Amino acid sequence: MASLRLLLGMIPATAKIEQAEKALITEFEKLNAFSGSETLKKFNELKELVTSSGFLSEKKEIESLNYKGSEEFAKEKEFLSLSKAKDLALYFKTIAGSSLKRFRDLDGSEKISGYETLEKLVKSLEFREKMKTKEFKGSDDDKKLQEFNRLKSGSEIIDYYKFKKSKEYSNFLNIDGSSKLSRYNELKEYVASKEFLSRKEYLLDKKRFEKTEMFKSLEEYNKLSRNEDIVWYFKVKDTNKFDILKSRELTFSDEFDGDKLNTNTWLTSYYWGDKLLKDNYTVGNDLHAFTEKENFEIRNSLLKIITKPQKKEGKVWSPDGFKTKEFAYTSGIINTGRSFRQKYGIFSAKVKLGDPSAKSAFWMISEKITPHIDVCRTAGGKVVSDFFATPEKRVKSSIGGKYANDFYIYTLEWTPDKLVWKINDTEIQTQTTDVPQEPMFINFSGGLDKPINSMTAMEIDWVRVYQPKK
């Protein structure tokens, strides 16, 4: 299916892939930043609080409170019942009236004691016998009898003894100082207290929970639960959306943002030419000489390796050794042989190869001529990917030359048991035998093995290398 898509040109657009990756990286960076934010910290704290058994239990208890089922209600009910009791009502009527006061004023007084003394006298048998005698009339005893009758018929004495014998007074004596009265007074004081009135108001308040600090915490939690960033965070954090970013780490990159090539990173010659000859050289049927600087241009975060008609003397390697000759063209080569090598990982570059008839390449090699991996190159009007396990053992895959004339992302995915070539995330070929097991370095080169009439350039926007996270 990949071959068909390549044939038909039905691969994802380079810009779309870059935009998607940029958006993914931006979102991942946001995720990592937000994971340490005060907003998330507060949300997690609140979530732990409001979902705790203690919080839920207390919330349920507060919301289930009912005045009718409370101790306060029972005491108020008892007080109201006592307030309606007839004996207590009569008691309070008595102590509020004048009869009890008059009674208390006379009770124990000399007037009552004098009256009761006279009464005892006049009712005695001896006194009654004296009343039958002729000497009684006008006597002191007669005067005492008259005084007794006067007192007896007086309203004070009548009222005094009438009250003393009344149900009202009997009720007073029964209630006064009783436990019933004590309980009434206790409850009366209780239901009039600030504590009772406040508690009653609280228990009758249907919105009592809304006035608690717990409710404020719950409201803040609910608000944060609707927070756009919080919703997004929990939606994506446990998905596989960022697996590719989590699974790799960047080990090498060059975005070519400066105005000249970083020579601490890149050699502008073959690695072995620099190491052994301290000079550049070309090989085989190459029609070009490599220059150190003249064929490189960096502008607008883009590296161009220029291949152009230009006479130049240079070295060429042959089985007989190095020879000097004059070339009709010049080009350039860069590599990381001195600065960066890696075994396994993802090796990727955004490249416009240029004229498919030229010899532009993104390739990898180690200490020896093989293994050699062409991530991509132009040859014979096509874009090619190659793998040389040995000089005699080669696998090759080619796609149309149209892919040379625009920017594409070429990638090699290298694991201990597999090599996978891709263009814009579309697989070109796979190799599962003779997989290299030694660190390799990156090369980009231009050049020619057949003449062309004009200048061409291989353009590199960026190069990035990743390794699996351990």
Give residue-wise pLDDT tens across range 295-315: 999 999 999 999 999 999 998
Residue range 183-202: mean pLDDT, rounded:
96
Q: With 50 as the cut, is the pLDDT of residue 177 above it?
A: yes
> How would CATH label the architecture of 252-468?
Sandwich (2.60)
The predicted model gives 38-52 an average pLDDT of 97
Arithmetic mean of pLDDT over the chain? 93
CB 294 within 8 A of CB 358: no
* pLDDT at residue 2, as a whole number: 53
HEC readout, the chain = CHHHHHHHCCCCCHHHHHHHHHHHHHHHHHHHHHHCCHHHHHHHHHHHHHCCHHHHHHHHHHHHCCHHHCHHHHHHHHHHHHHCCHHHHHHHHHHHCCHHHHHHHHCCCHHHHHHHHHHHHHCCHHHHHHHCCCCCCCCHHHHHHHHHHHHHHCHHHHHHHHHHCCHHHHHHHHHCCCHHHHHHHHHHHHHCCHHHHHHHHHHHCCCCHHHCHHHHHHHHHHHHHCCHHHHHHHHHCCCCCCHHHHCEEEEEEECCCCCCCCCCCCECCCHHHHHHHCCCCEECCCCEEECCCCCEEECCCCEEEEEEEEEEEEEEEECCEEEEEEEEEEECEEECCCCCCECCEEEEEEEECCCCCCCCEEEEECCCCCCEEEEEEEECCEEEEEEEEECCEEEEEEECHHHHCCCEEEEEEEECCEEEEEECCEEEEEECCCCCCCCEEEEEECCCCCCCCCCEEEEEEEEEEEEECC
For residue 285, what pLDDT is reported?
Answer: 86
Across 275-295, average pLDDT: 88
Arithmetic mean of pLDDT, 51-59: 97
In this prediction, what percent of the chain has a pLDDT beyond 70?
99
Average pLDDT over residues 429-458: 95
405-442 pLDDT, tens digit per residue, is 999 999 999 999 999 999 999 999 999 999 999 999 99
Query: Residue 9: its pLDDT value, please?
Result: 72
pTM: 0.73
- Max avg pLDDT among 7-21, 273-287, 400-414: 400-414
Q: Which residue has the higher pLDDT, 348 or 278?
A: 348
Joined tokens for residue 357 = 């008839």
Mean pLDDT of 242-252: 94
pLDDT digit string (tens) for 90-100? 999 999 999 99
- Which sequence spans correspond to the domains of the chain? 2-64+212-246, 68-204, 252-468
Supply the pLDDT for residue 1: 43
pLDDT of residue 277: 79
What integer pLDDT is reported at residue 5 of this predicted model?
74
pLDDT tier, 8 (very low <50, low <70, confident <90, very high otherwise): low
What pLDDT score does 424 carry? 96
